[in-house]
Amino acid sequence: TTLTNRIEIVEDNNDDVDSDADSSYDDDDLNDGIEDDDEDEVSVVVLGINVEKMASATDICPGEEVTYTLTVRFQDNICVDGAELRNISVEDFNDTGTFSIMLMPGDANFLPASDPNGDGILQCGEEFMWEYTRVITETETNTAMDMADLFFVNPDTGDEFEVSPVMFMDEVTVNADNSNCAS
């Protein structure tokens, strides 16, 4: 999402020779060919986090193994220089309340190749991935909910600040049914 913020001077002491503060937002209030300087706008990209949860199979025979893969990235792969997702965690749980796991960069289920510099911070162009396998005995829906802190590090000065916490969810249903068993 891109948000546009506009600003305009609405009152002055009548010494602004190239624009009329009482006119609407415009590029040339006086139609004199001189671009006004009493207004400006900036567009800001709204950043977020996204988790994608996939299962190796969604129709199985009860008792079969299913491998789940969870991928965390910037939402819609939209990123700006200096944006970072820190303190990432993914809670993965099923609808029956019999399974829950917390996943974090560097844990046993984390795929280290998904963090090329090994810092546990998701930067532009990176995707963090986790993988684990479970035996599924009954149909269940698993939900992954990722959370992180969105930071901005100014590429010019190195100054950094936390923008906001972010989160997203995805789910996958695995149908465990005897009709999926070999006979």
Let me know: does 128 contact 118? Beta carbons within 8 Å. Answer: no
Tokens of 10: 């609405």
Query: How many CB atoms within 10 Å of residue 39?
Result: 19
What is the predicted pLDDT for the residue at 106? 93
Q: Residue type for 10, please?
A: V
Residue partners of 128: CB distance under 8 A and separation at least 6 = 71, 72, 73, 88, 105, 110, 114, 115, 122
Tokens of 166: 């972010």
Q: Residue type for 124, please?
A: C
| CA distance from start to end of the chain | 51
| Residue written as token pair 């995805």 | 170
**Per-residue pLDDT tens over the stretch 95-113:** 988 999 999 999 999 999 9
What is the predicted pLDDT for the residue at 110? 96
Q: Which of 10-14, 73-77, 163-167 has the lowest mean pLDDT?
A: 10-14
Q: Between β-strands 160-176 and 59-60, what pairing exists: parallel, antiparallel or unpaired?
A: parallel
48 φ/ψ angles, rounded to the nearest 5 degrees: -155, -175
Q: What are residue 40's DSSP bridge partners? A: 7
What is the predicted pLDDT for the residue at 177? 95
